[in-house]
Amino acid sequence: MFFTDLETNRLHLQSIAPMHRYFIYALFTNEDVLRFHNKEDQLSDLYGADTEIAEWNQPEPHNQHGWVLACKADGVAMGVCVVNNWDRNTASCQVHYDMHPDFWGKGYMTEAIRTIIDFAQDKMKVRCIETSMDEENVKSIKLAERLGFEYIEQTVEDERIYRLYF
C-alpha cells in the first residue's frame, strides 16, 4: 500500500477505517468543529460517516487519503488530516484538517501536519501543498502560517488559500 499509517512523538496517524465511524460522526456533528465548514459537511447519521470513510478508502491508486489522529498514550481519537486532489503531473496536493475541541491548543495538529508534509514531499513527491480555511478561523490560519504556508488569495466564499512550496 502506498498510503500507510504514520507516527509522531505523541500520535499515531491511522488510515481512516470503518472502526473510526463513531469518531468521524462525533467530529462532524460537533458545532465548534463545523463552525467554519460548509453546511454539507455536517453529518446527519452514522451512515454519513460510513460514506465519508468509504470515500477515503477507495482502491489504490487514488488521489486522496485520510488519517485519524490518535494519542499514543491512550489511543483516543482526536482529529483527522486528509490529503486530496493529488496531481502527480503538477506535483501538488491539498491538505485539510479538523481537531475535536477537547484537544485544541496542545500542538497535536502541528505535529500531525508536519509529518504529513514530510510524507507528501518524500513519498508523494509533491512540490506544492495547498490548504484553505474560512477567513474567521484564526487558529487554523496561524497554524498554516507557522508551518510555512503563504497566503495566496481570498475566494468569494471568504476562504483564504495558502500554499507551501518546496
pLDDT tens column, 14-66: 999 999 999 999 999 999 999 998 878 889 999 999 999 998 888 878 899 99
Query: Per-residue pLDDT tens for 56-105?
Result: 888 878 899 999 999 999 999 999 999 999 999 999 999 999 999 999 99
Cβ-based burial of 127 (10 A; exposed 0-12, middle 13-18, buried ≥19) = middle
Q: What is the CATH number of the domain that holds 113?
A: 3.40.630.30
Residue matched to cell numbers 462532524 = 28
- All three cell numbers of 91: 506535483
Domain count across the chain = 1
Q: Tell me how far apart the alpha carbons of residues 126 and 135 are, in angstroms, rounded to a whole number.
A: 26
67 domain-assigned: yes
Q: Is residue 1 part of a domain?
A: no
C-alpha–C-alpha distance, residues 55 and 153, integer Å: 29
Query: Is residue 1's pLDDT more than 80?
Result: no
Give, in order, the Cα–Cα distances in Å from 1 to each of 15, 59, 65, 94, 123.
11, 10, 12, 20, 12
pLDDT at 57: 82
| Nearest of 133, 33, 120 to residue 83 by alpha carbon | 120
Structural contact between residues 93 and 124, judged by C-beta atoms closer than 8 angstroms: yes
Residue 85 maps to a domain? yes
In-domain check, residue 156: no
Q: How far apart are CA 41 and CA 138, in angstroms?
A: 20
Q: Considering the domain boundaries, does residue 49 fall inside one?
A: yes
- Cell matching residue 130: 495547498
Cβ count within 10 A of residue 23? 19
Any domain includes 157: no
pTM of this structure: 0.94
Mean pLDDT over each residue of the chain, to the nearest integer: 94
Residue 146 lies in a domain: no
Kindly state the percentage of the chain with pLDDT values over 90: 87
Per the structure, the complete domain to which residue 114 belongs is given by 6-126
Residue 70 lies in a domain: yes
